[in-house]
Chains A and B, each alone.
Chain A
C-alpha cells in the first residue's frame, strides 16, 4: 500500500479498535452504543479505502443510520430504574478472553498462510455491474433477503401484538 493509504488504514483501524473496545467493555450501554457507531464508521472507511464506495455508503445508511437507532430503542425500552448500567463483571473476563483469543488465533494463522494477494490496487466496480448482478446472477439471493426481511418485520409485529394482548 502507498504511504498515505497506510496512514488512512492505521487511522481507521484505531477508530475500529477503540470504538469496539468501548462497545464491549463500557458498563453504560448508551456509551457502548456510541462506541459501536464509531466502529461502524471505521469499517465504512475501510470500504472506501478498498475502492468499494457503494458498500461503504450502504454501511453508513444501514448500520449507522438504521441499526444503531434500533439498538438505541432496545436500550431505552429496557432501561432499569437504576439507569442503564451493567453490573461489573470480573469473573467472566478471563473466560471471555480465552473464548475470543482462540478463534482469532486460528483464523489469523489461516489468513496469514492460506490466502495469496494477487491485486495490488483494487479496481473499481460500478453500481451498474452491482445492479446487474443483483437482478441477474444473484437474483435468488436478492429475492430471499427480501423474504427474510418481510418475515422478520412480520414476526416483530406479531411478538409486539401478543405482548399487548397479555397486558
Chain B
C-alpha cells in the first residue's frame, strides 16, 4: 500500500461518512454538514493525486481552492434557502417539507 492510496483512503473515509450522513440526517442543516464533509474529501483526493503523480501540481492545488470557493458559495446559498424554507414550512425537517409526495 503506497502513500497515494493512503491519502485516497482518507478521502474515501470522508466520502463514506458524508454519504451516510446525507441519507441518514433528517434536517437540512445536518445534510449541509454532510455535504461539507464530502467536499473536503474531494479536495483532499485531488491534491493527493496531483502531488504524488506526474500531474501538474499547480493544477491540483488550484482545483482544491476552487472547491473551497464553491463550498463557500454553496454554504451561503443553502443558509438563505434554509431561512426561506423555515419561513414557509415552519420546520427544516425533510419529512415535513416533502409536500410533493402527498
Contacts and interface: CB of A to CB of B under 8 A. Distances in A.
Contacts of B58: 125, 129-130, 133, 137-138
A1 B62 contact: no
Contacts of A95: 23
Contact of B26 (A1, A12, A89, A116): A89
A155 B40 contact: no
B79 A156 contact: yes
Given A24-B37, A73-B79, A96-B20, A52 B13 contact: no
Nearest to B23: A96
A118 B54 contact: yes
Contact of B20 (A32, A97, A148): A97
A24 B18 contact: yes
Contacts of B77: 152, 155-156
A78 interface: yes
Contacts of A25: 21, 24
Contacts of B20: 24, 96-97, 99-100
Contacts of A58: 64-65, 68
Q: How would you classify the secondary structure of chain A's contact residues: helix, strand, loop or mixed?
A: helix
Given A32-B33, A43-B40, A86-B25, A118 B53 contact: yes
Nearest to A1: B3
Contact of B12 (A107, A138, A156): A107
Interface of A: 1, 5, 9, 12-13, 16-17, 20-21, 23-25, 29, 32-33, 36, 39-40, 42-43, 46-47, 50-52, 54-55, 58-59, 62-63, 66-67, 70-71, 73-75, 77-78, 80, 86-87, 89, 92-93, 95-97, 99-101, 103-104, 107-108, 111-112, 115-120, 122-123, 125, 129-130, 133-134, 137-138, 141, 145, 148-149, 151-153, 155-156, 159-160, 162-163, 166-167
Given A62-B69, A103-B19, 10 more contacts: A16-B13, A20-B14, A46-B48, A71-B32, A71-B33, A74-B79, A96-B24, A104-B15, A117-B2, A130-B58
Interface of B: 2-10, 12-21, 23-30, 32-34, 36-37, 40, 43-44, 47-49, 51-54, 57-59, 61-62, 64-66, 68-84, 86-87, 91-93
